[in-house]
Amino acid sequence: MLHRQRSEYQQTVHHPWPSAPLFWHPSLLLLLGTVGLFIFFSLHYNPEDVFSVRYVRKDDGHKMPSTKNSSYVYSWPRCQQNMSAIYITGFSSLPAEKSAEVFLLLVIKSSPVNYDRREVLRKTWAKERLHNGVWIRRIFISGTMDSGFEKERVNKLLELEQSEYNDILQWDFSDTFYNLTLKQILFLGWMERNCLSTSFLLFGDDDIFANTDNIVEYLQNLKDNNGNKHLFTGRLRQDTGPIRSPRSKYFIPVQVYKSESYPPYCGGGGYLLSGYTASVIYSMSQSVDIIPIDDAYMAMCLAKAGLGPVSHKGIDIDKYDPCFYKYILVAHRFLPAQIDLMWHKLHDPNLQCGLMKWIISLLVLYT
């Protein structure tokens, strides 16, 4: 009896609809559905949409995924002045500085893996602070490195770093020497959309030492220029041209740049410019063919606008005496430990410098 009931049960399970047409059979329907889903995802699937999410911080401070295929781009809120207290009676008569405005923005080119450099800079010359009544702010600009899992790993670490400091702007292109120009132009485009009120900028590498206190004081002493007029200064290089040797790091083929000379440009690890000049360079870049040498490209954009750079002797020097750095603006090729050591020596209240060193340093800074 048990055996007969089991046989009837098995028959019922295997033939639920014995009289149904073949195309209604559930196994066939499951197969057709699977094939349909496969075709749908094959037509609409984009690996970058799944593995490359671009996070952009909105004005309200919340992150949201972007629909563009540029991954891991972190951005600040727009640089807007806090106007929340403007309607308070008598507030405008209170003694206060315009501290909400960015006077000096430190734009630091940094490779994704250079965490140690960024960490030292945040604690030394790139520390965000109020100096002489004006704000110094910073932002690191970066690309991506490697590919596949390693790229995802590095970007995840950078995402964690960004969540802590909120000072990294990254684009999804290879962070190499030949993409430095692209990095700077993309930043200027971001600034044009988000941070037009910035008075001055320092463009620099993450291996420079900048005496940002001196830079602020130098900029505040400019005559009739609060950032609304042209300024582009650094270590001026003239009468130079593209290197045609394929063995050189700076190789530029004639197909990329035909002229045998560059316009005068500021080379080395860093240079200063006004917010006005930054806007002009970005505007000119829309019609100037890009070349890999970023310093020369900035000068090409300036030349198209009828402008040019000027020299400053306090930028990109090679001495290591803290008494000398007490009065300079920018120096290149420092290791993280050297940056940290120099910054703390400069701010040592017991540092004593001879009169001759003081005179020489002032001559370098102001002539």
Going by C-alpha positions, the residue among 300, 316, 293 that lies closest to residue 177 is 293
Is residue 208 pLDDT above 80, yes or no? Answer: yes
How many beta carbons lie within 10 A of that of residue 94, not counting itself? 8
Q: Please give the pLDDT value at position 270.
A: 87
Alpha carbon 110 to chain centroid distance? 8
Q: Please give the pLDDT value at position 300.
A: 97
Range in 46-55, 168-177, 228-237, 255-264 with the lowest mean pLDDT: 46-55
Q: Please give the pLDDT value at position 294.
A: 94
* Each residue's pLDDT tens digit, 217-227: 999 999 999 99
Is residue 207 pLDDT above 70, yes or no? Answer: yes
Going by C-alpha positions, the residue among 295, 350, 294, 284 that lies closest to residue 323 is 350
**By three-state DSSP, how is residue 141 classified?**
strand
The amino acid at residue 136 is I
Q: Which helix (H) or strand (E) holds 282?
A: helix 275-285
* % of the chain surpassing 90 pLDDT: 51
Q: pLDDT band for 35, please (50, 70, 90 cuts).
A: low
Backbone phi, then psi, for 319, in 5-degree steps?
-80, 160
Correct CATH for 49-79+96-366 of 3.60.15.10, 3.90.550.50, 3.40.50.300, 3.40.190.10:
3.90.550.50
Instruction: Judge whether 323 and 357 are in contact, CB under 8 Å.
Output: yes
Render the burial of 192-228: b for 16+ CB within 10 Å, e for the rest: eebbeebbbbbbbbbbbbbbbbbbbebbbeeeeeebe
* % of the chain surpassing 70 pLDDT: 59
For residue 168, how many C-alpha atoms fall within 13 Å in the half-sphere facing its CB? 30
Mean pLDDT, residues 274-287 taken together: 97
Q: Please give the pLDDT value at position 49.
A: 40
Q: Please give the pLDDT value at position 337.
A: 59
DSSP 8-state class, residue 243? B
* Each residue's pLDDT tens digit, 132-150: 999 999 999 999 998 889 9
What distances in angstroms separate CA 210 from CA 65, 216, 270, 285, 343, one per listed residue? 35, 11, 9, 27, 9
Which tokens go with 122?
């945040």
What distances in angstroms separate CA 268 from CA 160, 265, 315, 326, 333, one per listed residue? 31, 10, 9, 20, 9
Is residue 129 pLDDT above 90, yes or no? Answer: yes
How many beta carbons lie within 10 A of that of residue 268, not counting itself? 20
Is residue 194 pLDDT above 70, yes or no? Answer: yes
Is residue 23 pLDDT above 60, yes or no? Answer: no
Q: Please give the pLDDT value at position 56.
A: 34
Is residue 81 pLDDT above 70, yes or no? Answer: no
Instruction: Give counts: helices (H), strands (E), the chain.
Output: 12, 13
- Cα dihedral 126, 173, 297, 275 in deg (nearest 10): -40
Is residue 84 pLDDT above 80, yes or no? Answer: no
Going by C-alpha positions, the residue among 232, 180, 190, 204 that lies closest to residue 107 is 204
Is residue 338 pLDDT above 50, yes or no? Answer: yes
Is residue 229 pLDDT above 70, yes or no? Answer: yes
Q: Please give the pLDDT value at position 293.
A: 93
Task: Report d(CA 263, CA 293) in Å as an integer.
Answer: 12
**By three-state DSSP, how is residue 311 classified?**
strand
Q: Which range, 35-39, 52-56, 82-86, 227-231, is most confident?
A: 227-231
Task: Report d(CA 2, CA 148) in Å as an integer.
Answer: 60
Q: Please give the pLDDT value at position 3.
A: 42
Q: What is the mean pLDDT of the chain?
A: 76
